[in-house]
Structure 1
Amino acid sequence: MTTRILPAVGEPDAARSITTLLSQLPDAEPAAPVGDSTSLLDLLARLAADSLDELPEVVLVHERIGPVPALELIREVALRFPAVGVILVTVDAGPGLYSAVMDSGARGLIALPLSYDELAQRVQAAAGWSTGVRRHLGHGAEAPSGPGGTVVTVSGAKGGVGVTVTAVQLALAAQASGRTVALADLDLQAGDVASYLDVQFRRSIADLAGIQDISPRVLQEALFAHQTGIGLLLAPGDGERGEEVDDRAVRQIVSALRNRHEVVVIDCGTQMNGANAAAVEMADTTLLVTTPDVVSVRGAKRMVRLWDRLQIRKAEETITVVNRYNRTTEIQPQLIEKITGTRVAKTAVPAGYKELQPVVDAGRMQDLEAKSTVKQALWGLAGELGLVRVTEDGQKQGRFRGDRGSISVRRARSR
């Protein structure tokens, strides 16, 4: 049986050395190395989306991989792709690190410089374990067949551009189509999701920050079950508690949400920190909301450049949403696309102060009327992003009924 091996090595010399030795192993099929953690997770997600069988049996993670630290990357791979055997390649092979590596979900550790015998032994053991897991998953009716649900982050070029309205309406549209949806508020100091949906709940995302293994029961206790059917993970009521939520915690929380929901929408606010940076990096789709004015577009450009410098997200992988759009404004979507280097969503959202003000003041964003141009645009955006369920005949499904009317996703997108 052929063992497919994917090395994740950032240093060119180390990558050549590891690939050369892997090619000498019997029945081994080493793939071209990936150079960073983002590329590794993206590649595994693409392979898993096709079939569980497309995933490599073994992934080798070099200790100097980045930007995500090696142990956090191993934990992420183990959570999202449980049928892949992960091995850490490191200079330090002491018992302390070995224990931490195994706790992260790895199947072994190999010391540098590499030994052929040790490499062959570890790879064979990890491959055998991977094969056994896949055989077991193949008979399970509820076995995961891919990387989990779709994660969408919504960030703002600056304050007041409509991030929370966008995130809430995308979540409502996805839920109305029949998907299981979670909406997380990662605007840790000033999150308004609870206010927009009239929620009072004592638990928040900070309650999950110190938990090493987030079980489904623990996650369920932290989520507020909203009347619309959306599971809400709220920002802490006391803003200083936001400091408890670091990037490590966010990676675990997002992975747990992804494994339990078909769609996860994350409100990242407008301020960058380690927590929401981790969410943006993990996301399948990253939205950057801007308004068509000079100050906001400059803010969008700064944000995109920051993400690129920190290797969080490339500009071409970011979708810019133009809010409060007007055909007569001097700054049009094509110009915003050129300035930011991002892809601008086909759906632009018109200004709708009069439509939004009553439901915002009442904390009843779910009651935004069906005829609202803002709602129609944002539900159309949800269709453009693939967040709504599609029937066998290719039509978008779902109708959300509130106290003030209803709107179908298909109708919203066609307008």
Structure 2
Amino acid sequence: MNMRILSAIADPDTARATTTLLSQLPGAEPGTTVPDSTALLNTLGALAASGIDELPEVVLVHDRVGPLPALELVREVALRFPAVGVVLLCADHGPALYSAAMDAGARGLIGLPLSYDELAPRVQTAATWAAGVRRHLGAGGETFSGPGGTVVTVSGAKGGVGATITAIQLALAARASGRSVALADMDLQTGDIASYLDVQFRRSVADLAEINDISPRVLADAMFTHSSGVALLLSPTDGEQGEAVTDRAARQIVTALRARFDVVVIDCGSQMNGANAVAVEMADTAVLVTTPDVVAVRAAKRMVRLWDRLQVRKAQDTCTVVNRHSRHTEIQPALIERITGTKAAKSAVPAAFKELQSVVDSGRMHELDGRSTVKQALWSLAAELGIVGGPGRSGAAAIERGPHRLGRRAERRAIGRGTDNGTATGGSST
């Protein structure tokens, strides 16, 4: 039996020892060793997109891999790629870790330092199990969903730049194209999605925080189906309840949403905590909304640097959307792109608050006129991000640099060498 094996090992010595031993195992096809959890999940996702047969039978996870803790990574792989056998490599041989690894979905545990006598049977058992699962899926006529739906997070560089309206319109655009869509409010203390859509619902994301196994029924009970067809997972009415949504809970919630919907849009607000940092890390596309003023651009730069320091997301993997854009402002998208190191979306949102005021005040954001330039820009952004049905480009491949002329005075001020007297538009515009 051929056994394709993918390893996630941070330590070079352990990686070399593992590759050497695997090469001695009959039928083993060791793949390239990846250094961290992000690379592992991205690799598996790319393989799964081509079908179940492209996935490795076995994944080895080193207990020192990061930035995601090893047990959380085991759980993530087991949930997203159930036809892959996961084996944990660890220095701790204790029964407590063994039990925790099994609970997370591991098919075996191998102690360090490695020995062929222990490695061979564990890998063979995991590969046999994976082959059996795949035969069962084929016999039952089921299809493998691979990495699941597309997750897009929307964060604000600071409060009031329009992240929530951006998230709502992206979700509405995806739903209008015929896709199943979830809109989750992970702005846990100050989330406003319910207000913008005039929704009163007693359940929230906090109700899922203490649940270890989020089944489809449990997830459905916590969500409200809006008249637009978008399924809403709302933030708690009382902000302090948001503290119950830990990093681990957020990871399980995002995984459950990804498994049940074609598109998941998550409003992360403008304040980073463990829960929405996890959402940004797991997202296929992370959108950062800013306005073309000095204060907001500096805030965007701080946010991008924070994500990089926490190993949440690299700047070049972030899509910046400029809201309240005008050709007459000194700070243009290309300058923001240069300052933050991100990729600016081609679809900039115009400054047109009057188009929004009536639907914002009445909580009828889903009834925004189709002739609205704001709506047109945000729905174009949805197409640019690849979350609407039909042909189109997806993710970062759709984000190109647009030609804009830059003013040197604006550049100096935006990167912090000038004064902080730029004008930032307030209110709850887009």
What displacement does 1:141 show? 4.0
Q: C-alpha distance in 2, partners of 1:282/1:269? A: 16
Over residues 234-286 of structure 1, what are the superposed CA-to-partner deviations in whole Å (9 max), with x where a residue is unaligned? 00000000100011001100110011000000000000111001000100111
Matched, 1:101 2:135: no
Q: Which residue of 1 aligns with 2:207?
A: 207
Q: Which residue of 1 aligns with 2:159?
A: 159
Q: What percent of counterpart residues are identical?
A: 73
Over residues 350-390 of structure 1, what are the superposed CA-to-partner deviations in whole Å (9 max), with x where a residue is unaligned? 11210111101100100100100000000011011111111
SS of the equivalent of 2:214 reads coil
Over residues 44-103 of structure 1, what are the superposed CA-to-partner deviations in whole Å (9 max), with x where a residue is unaligned? 111111111111110000001111111111111111000110000001122111111011
Q: Which residue of 2 aligns with 1:285?
A: 285
The aligned amino acid for 1:73 is L
Q: C-alpha distance in 2, partners of 1:303/1:54? A: 37
What displacement does 1:11 show? 1.4
Kept after mapping to 1: 8 A contact 2:384/2:392: no
Over residues 128-178 of structure 1, what are the superposed CA-to-partner deviations in whole Å (9 max), with x where a residue is unaligned? 111111111223444333110000000011110000000000000000100
SS of the equivalent of 1:179 reads coil
Q: C-alpha distance in 1, partners of 2:223/2:367? A: 21
Q: C-alpha distance in 2, partners of 1:47/1:292? A: 39
* TM-score for the superposition, normalised by structure 2: 0.90
Q: Which residue of 1 aligns with 2:225?
A: 225
SS of the equivalent of 1:320 reads strand
Q: Which residue of 1 aligns with 2:60?
A: 60
Q: Which residue of 2 aligns with 1:31?
A: 31
The aligned amino acid for 1:139 is A
SS of the equivalent of 2:49 reads helix
Q: C-alpha distance in 2, partners of 1:141/1:32? A: 32
Q: Which residue of 1 aligns with 2:428?
A: none
What displacement does 1:292 show? 0.9
Q: C-alpha distance in 2, partners of 1:141/1:203? A: 36
Q: Which residue of 1 aligns with 2:47?
A: 47
The aligned amino acid for 1:384 is E
Q: C-alpha distance in 2, partners of 1:375/1:96? A: 53
Q: C-alpha distance in 2, partners of 1:395/1:16? A: 42
The aligned amino acid for 2:107 is R
Q: Which residue of 1 aligns with 2:240?
A: 240
Q: C-alpha distance in 2, partners of 1:346/1:132? A: 47
Q: Which residue of 1 aligns with 2:187?
A: 187
Kept after mapping to 1: 8 A contact 2:153/2:285: yes
Q: Which residue of 1 aligns with 2:149?
A: 149
Q: C-alpha distance in 2, partners of 1:50/1:340? A: 34
What displacement does 1:31 show? 1.2
Kept after mapping to 1: 8 A contact 2:59/2:87: yes
SS of the equivalent of 1:350 reads coil
SS of the equivalent of 2:236 reads coil
Q: C-alpha distance in 2, partners of 1:129/1:300? A: 47
Q: Which residue of 2 aligns with 1:408?
A: none
Q: Note the residue ranges of structure 1 that are not aligned, 5 or more in a row.
A: 397-415
Q: Which residue of 2 aligns with 1:388?
A: 388
The aligned amino acid for 1:79 is L
Q: C-alpha distance in 2, partners of 1:194/1:395? A: 30
SS of the equivalent of 1:266 reads strand
Matched, 1:371 2:371: yes
Q: C-alpha distance in 2, partners of 1:81/1:182? A: 21
Q: Which residue of 1 aligns with 2:111?
A: 111
Over residues 314-357 of structure 1, what are the superposed CA-to-partner deviations in whole Å (9 max), with x where a residue is unaligned? 11111111111101111111111111111111111111210111
Q: Which residue of 2 aligns with 1:87?
A: 87
Q: C-alpha distance in 1, partners of 2:306/2:25? A: 42
Q: Give the 5 Å matches for 1:128-139.
A: 128-139=128-139
Q: C-alpha distance in 2, partners of 1:363/1:170? A: 17
SS of the equivalent of 2:132 reads helix
Give the root-mean-square deviation of aligned CA atoms.
1.1
Q: Which residue of 2 aligns with 1:275?
A: 275
Distance change >3 Å, CA 395–CA 86, structure 1 → 2: closer
SS of the equivalent of 1:18 reads helix
Matched, 1:196 2:179: no
The aligned amino acid for 2:67 is P
The aligned amino acid for 2:99 is S
Q: Give the 5 Å matches for 1:249-398.
A: 249-390=249-390, 394=391
Kept after mapping to 1: 8 A contact 2:386/2:392: no
Over residues 199-237 of structure 1, what are the superposed CA-to-partner deviations in whole Å (9 max), with x where a residue is unaligned? 000000000000000000000000001111111000000
Matched, 1:5 2:5: yes
Q: C-alpha distance in 2, partners of 1:284/1:140? A: 30
- More off after superposition, 6-15 vs 236-245: 6-15
What displacement does 1:395 show? 8.2
SS of the equivalent of 1:34 reads coil
- How many equivalent pairs are there? 393
Distance change >3 Å, CA 306–CA 114, structure 1 → 2: same
Distance change >3 Å, CA 140–CA 360, structure 1 → 2: farther
Over residues 279-316 of structure 1, what are the superposed CA-to-partner deviations in whole Å (9 max), with x where a residue is unaligned? 00100111000111111111111111111111111111
Matched, 1:19 2:13: no
Kept after mapping to 1: 8 A contact 2:167/2:267: yes
Q: C-alpha distance in 1, partners of 2:276/2:266? A: 9
Q: C-alpha distance in 2, partners of 1:18/1:173? A: 47
The aligned amino acid for 2:146 is G
Q: C-alpha distance in 1, partners of 2:355/2:71? A: 48
Distance change >3 Å, CA 86–CA 5, structure 1 → 2: same
